[in-house]
Chains A and B, each alone.
Chain A
């Protein structure tokens, strides 16, 4: 399952890039699974995703809960809680 990931704000800074394509293993079924997989993958992932509760998710342009399934997803954005206004 190839996924196009996009990172924003301090997630982007800690990952050292704004986007990348990844091929997570088959047992990565939800956004939470993806966050845990990225955190375990390397040092930058460990820094960006050390606190999964502070990570928000959008799947194919829709804000979703972190328990959302990734089946059929193409684009996943991972970012901190928003602070506009």
Chain B
């Protein structure tokens, strides 16, 4: 089962893991992306497209399911304002064996950084805001899956 969610609400790891793992799969790989608090960042805002962000995540989830055996896949991305330490993104990928689960999890986080309509804006302690620039290393990692 593929589950893709874009939400304003906080992502609760335990709740989502319980929901995801109901089938009792052999291996579940997870990735939790959190807001970094370095560089004096006090708030992160995630801007998204009302339709295309969720569709982009769903396209990626289906691409992963075509590539690996994934009886369960959960992909949740938070949008809106969040504080350092809060979860931005959660990937849960389950497969009969670990190699496929781990590969799918890595694929999904690598590709969603370059393929999905989401933009990060950081607010600093003095109130100044800046849009996060894409990183070349992220682009290279994403292209590595082509």
Contact = CB atoms under 8 A, between A and B. Distances in A.
Point out which of A6, A10, A63, A83 has the most chain B C-beta atoms below 10 A from its C-beta: A83
A12 B113 CA distance: 20
Interface in A9-54: 9-10, 12
B47 A8 contact: yes
B52 A82 contact: no
Contacts of B132: 83
Contacts of B77: 84
A9 B119 contact: yes
Contact-residue size bin, chain B (C-beta under 8 Å from the other chain)? 20 to 34
B114 interface: yes
B112 A77 contact: no
Contacts of A10: 131
A61 B113 CA distance: 18
Given A8-B47, A9-B47, A10-B131, A84 B52 contact: no
Nearest to A10: B131
B121 interface: yes
Given A9-B121, A9-B131, A10-B131, A82 B116 contact: yes
Contacts of B33: 85
B34 to A, nearest CB: 11
Nearest to A12: B47
B88 A82 contact: no
Contacts of B89: 84-85
Contacts of B138: 85
Question: Which 7 residue pairs across A and B have the least CB separation, nearest first?
Answer: A84-B118, A9-B119, A85-B113, A81-B134, A83-B132, A83-B120, A10-B131
